[in-house]
Amino acid sequence: MCDEATVFLVDDDPGVQKGLAAALESVGLHVEIFASAEQFTSQCKGDEVGCLLLDVALGGMSGVQLLEKLHDSKSALPVIMITGYGDVAAAVESMKLGAVDYLEKPLDHQVLLRLIRAAFQKATILHSNYIRTSDAKARLSRLTPREREMLQILVNGKSSKQIAAKTGLSIRTVNNHRTHLLAKTGAQNTADMVRLASIAGIA
């Protein structure tokens, strides 16, 4: 259901759903409609390529609560908040949580289209970074706590001799650990292993 280059519209007003979908589809955009934040979270993971048009005032989970959830999960989906009334507090909170913009209804479709196109460009970069980070975390999740400790030591830029002196291990043992970690993480060399650790937030 969640295709690439999709506008995900979360709004519980059928009139808004119909009007916005018609306007966006008339210029060739693909639109997926969700009547609640809960429906969106049950069908999409937040790593889709496109952008999210999110109404602030929703029944159940609010738009700001969904935005906070996406922010906490490091979602790759740019979010444009929309509201039927001016709410300065909600607007400030939305921008703090990473929303790319905050628009009041009735929406200016030309402004909205400009923001969507910009969001699509941002989404491509965010999605690429999201996939790269997810891959790095998945590869390093195979490590035991002890292996992760050794990984942190190995990626700090010290030579095997320096690590051996610091840890009390033999140089041969340090090299064996390095070889084992390279094999387990699928890294090509130590530099690649350092890159993985950095992307995953370990180093």
* 77 Cα distance to chain centroid: 6
Same domain, yes or no, for 45 and 128?
yes
pTM above 0.95, yes or no: no
Same domain, yes or no, for 58 and 128?
yes
What DSSP assignment string belongs to 79-142?
Answer: EEEEESS--HHHHHHHHHTT-SEEEESSP-HHHHHHHHHHHHHHHHHHHHHHHHHHHHHHHHTT
Same domain, yes or no, for 23 and 118?
yes
Partner residues linked to 81 by β-bridges: 54, 102
Q: Which residue has the higher pLDDT, 89 or 13?
A: 13
Instruction: Reply yes or no on whether the pLDDT at 3 is more than 60.
Output: no
Question: 60 vs 22, 35, 38, 69, 195, CA distance in Å?
Answer: 26, 11, 8, 14, 41
Confidence of residue 1 (pLDDT cuts 50, 70, 90): very low
Same domain, yes or no, for 83 and 173?
no
Give the SS3 label for residue 67.
Answer: helix
CATH code, domain with 190: 1.10.10.10
Confidence of residue 203 (pLDDT cuts 50, 70, 90): low
Same domain, yes or no, for 108 and 183?
no
> Which structural domain range is residue 22 located in?
6-137
pLDDT tens for 68-123 read: 999 898 888 899 999 887 777 888 888 899 899 999 888 899 999 999 999 988 88
Closest among 175, 159, 202, 135 to 194, alpha carbons compared:
202
* Secondary-structure breakdown of the chain: helix, strand, coil percentages, each rounded to the nearest 5: 55, 10, 30
Residue 1 lies in a domain: no
Closest among 72, 70, 74 to 137, alpha carbons compared:
74
Phi, psi torsion values for 91, nearest 5 degrees: -65, -45
Confidence of residue 4 (pLDDT cuts 50, 70, 90): low
Give me the percent of the chain exceeding a pLDDT of 90. Answer: 42
CATH code, domain with 87: 3.40.50.2300
pLDDT tens for 24-81 read: 999 999 999 999 999 999 998 766 788 999 999 898 999 999 999 998 988 888 999 9
